[in-house]
Amino acid sequence: MNLIGNIIWLVFGGFVVFLEYMIAGLALCMTIIGIPFGLQCFKIGLLTLFPFGKEVREVSGGSGCLSTVFNIIWIFCGGIWIALTHLVFGILLAITIIGLPFARQHFKLMSLSFTPFGKEIQ
């Protein structure tokens, strides 16, 4: 079931979102200050490529005050807009019964894109 969901996800916009995250990650990695943020774009982008069957979890013991500071910077520099975009698409897809699995994936991506530091994908 995960394979079918991932294929449908890719066809209906998942690949475009993946490319957007990869381009943003490359642009952020061109500066030394932007490298940690670019790596998070790559992490989110890989999740948007195949979101079905993956989970987002908090890193146990590995995140500290640095990840909190990076999350605050991320939120103010665009993370809020990315999360709101996933929220809007999730709500629109949740209106229909067929779109519920895809809405769930957008809500998962929303939580990761709002505060990506200190989280891992399994």
Q: Are 26 and 104 in contact (CB under 8 A)?
A: no
pLDDT digits over 61-74, tens only?
Answer: 766 788 889 999 99
Q: What are the DSSP E strand ranges found in the chain?
A: 56-58, 119-121
Domain boundaries, the chain: 2-121
pLDDT digits over 8-54, tens only?
Answer: 999 888 898 899 999 999 999 999 999 999 999 999 999 999 999 99
